[in-house]
Structure 1
């Protein structure tokens, strides 16, 4: 699966959506942001019976955003993302200044993230086989998002600096996070596996890997180097439908998600959890250990410390740290 690779656009795009995508790429915005913004633009257009956005304005925007809150009962973050996407489209792309929006606001629900205890995390990890086990260990041990973990390249594992480099994480930002010392042996072994697989691909006339931001055009030899290969390569080569190039991409995220769901069931852990729960658990474990919240914020890549502060509500204190009367007996 190559759904995280931007598909090519016409040199001179004509369709509105293609022109919008072209504009975002000219600003080096992340592909996930591009996908989200196009998604909300299309939903907005369809909601108004496919009218051209240039013929609409404040009234139509308020109607759509209110529809999300009132009719669909969308979460506040969903409505906020839609608002950001449409404001960017109007104010930046169309250069049509939109002000004074007053839609019905989505209700703010403060949800405490689900986390694993260390024992639960270990029990799940023990039920996974490689390379899925190592990928989950990195999510838990380094606070990686699922897509950040699968997008790691060989060059992103910095053994000498004891750090992992996360490239183009959420918001298109790079960051550094901790390299778990307990995983160094397994990581070195994984790189050996990647190297042997890459050598096989090269011998058979392949070996080229996808490189972002058209870097393969600027550095064509790097696309066939070991350093740029994915740390968690797919078991099979596949045809990139956007370019017809046969490559070995990284593991499919849906496969890893299913592996984790199976391990949860086998471990008899009945929490509404997913791969992302390991990242939540990483943050919580660091705060329990006494690390400064600003340090945790930096490792997680949060732009606002308020996002990180939600983990202070799930520290191992039970019901607000209160001792139940039953425990006195």
Structure 2
């Protein structure tokens, strides 16, 4: 998986799933398991534990990779049925809610982390990997290195974010990573999640929002402000425009202009 340039997260997840799968069978059985046996294993695991669609897909991908690498079996020989794709709209915070979240965070570093995620739409795993050298002050850009799919991209550095970043850097004086944690490493993903969790409670926001909701909110608010869909796709680092199009379904730019038939009644 390392040679195939899989991310550390994917390697860890696949390794865990494959180990779990192998523990269910004798060594002599594994090579000659039929597709039906594998499908039955996945079905029982998912239904007994009520696992999500994404977990099921990840399990199928991990098992297929194992058989392709270890035994040369083609993917077509292990055609497990994929779960039906869910159509869930992402959770989006309003501008007022974002403002409240930022205002209740008193710690400068924590405040700037949340601001940066919302301002640029970067993923949680990306924001903690940003280094000082990735910030181009003159061009007002931030380089995102090795994002999802191992792809680099640039995101804009807004004036307000720049001013807050400059104040943060002057105060904390990070040396390598923009947001440093304990020791020589970067800030942890868990710590960022806790920042938002506490801020949501303090701001009295009841939505089941996560750090990724800041990314969803960034994309939605950019579209509502008139930013071109293709540009939003580039900023978010989406491979397919179809992924970005989900935000057109939750943008209020057009839907709020629709007149309800109730408003035309005279009562």
Contact 2:57–2:82 (CA<8 Å) still a contact in 1?
A: no
Where do 5+ consecutive residues of structure 2 fail to align? Answer: none
1-structure distance, mates of 2:228, 2:62: 33
**Which digits, 9 at most, give the CA deviation of each residue in 1:236-285, with x for residues without a partner?**
32xxxxxxxxxx21222222212211111111111010111100001101
1-structure distance, mates of 2:52, 2:258: 30
Match for residue 237 of structure 2 among 301, 321, 324: 301
Match for residue 163 of structure 2 among 185, 188, 196: 185
1:150 and 2:128 equivalent? yes
1:232 and 2:179 equivalent? yes
Name the Cα RMSD after superposition: 2.5
The 3 A distance-change label for structure 1 pair 27 and 98 is closer
Match for residue 161 of structure 1 among 111, 116, 139: 139
2-structure distance, mates of 1:99, 1:320: 47
Contact 1:176–1:299 (CA<8 Å) still a contact in 2?
A: yes
Deviation at 1:112, TM superposition (A): 0.4
Contact 1:75–1:108 (CA<8 Å) still a contact in 2?
A: no
Deviation at 1:175, TM superposition (A): 1.4
Contact 2:35–2:80 (CA<8 Å) still a contact in 1?
A: no
After superposition, where does 1:104-253 map in structure 2 within 5 Å?
104-128=81-105, 129-193=107-171, 195=173, 226=175, 229-234=176-181, 236-237=182-183, 248-253=184-189
Contact 1:73–1:106 (CA<8 Å) still a contact in 2?
A: no
Contact 1:293–1:309 (CA<8 Å) still a contact in 2?
A: yes
Deviation at 1:68, TM superposition (A): 4.7
More helix by share: 2
Match for residue 202 of structure 2 among 262, 266, 272: 266
Q: TM-score, normalised by structure 2?
A: 0.87
**Equivalent residue pairs, number:** 263
2-structure distance, mates of 1:309, 1:50: 46
Q: TM-score, normalised by structure 1?
A: 0.72
Counterpart in the other structure of 2:19: 42
Counterpart in the other structure of 1:89: 66
The 3 A distance-change label for structure 1 pair 45 and 322 is farther
Contact 1:58–1:98 (CA<8 Å) still a contact in 2?
A: no
Match for residue 281 of structure 1 among 217, 222, 230: 217
Deviation at 1:96, TM superposition (A): 2.6
State the SS of the aligned residue for 2:142: strand
**Which digits, 9 at most, give the CA deviation of each residue in 1:1-44, with x for residues without a partner?**
xxxxxxxxxxxxxxxxxxxxxxx222332211211211221232
1-structure distance, mates of 2:256, 2:135: 39
**Which digits, 9 at most, give the CA deviation of each residue in 1:287-324, with x for residues without a partner?**
11222222111111112222111111111269786544
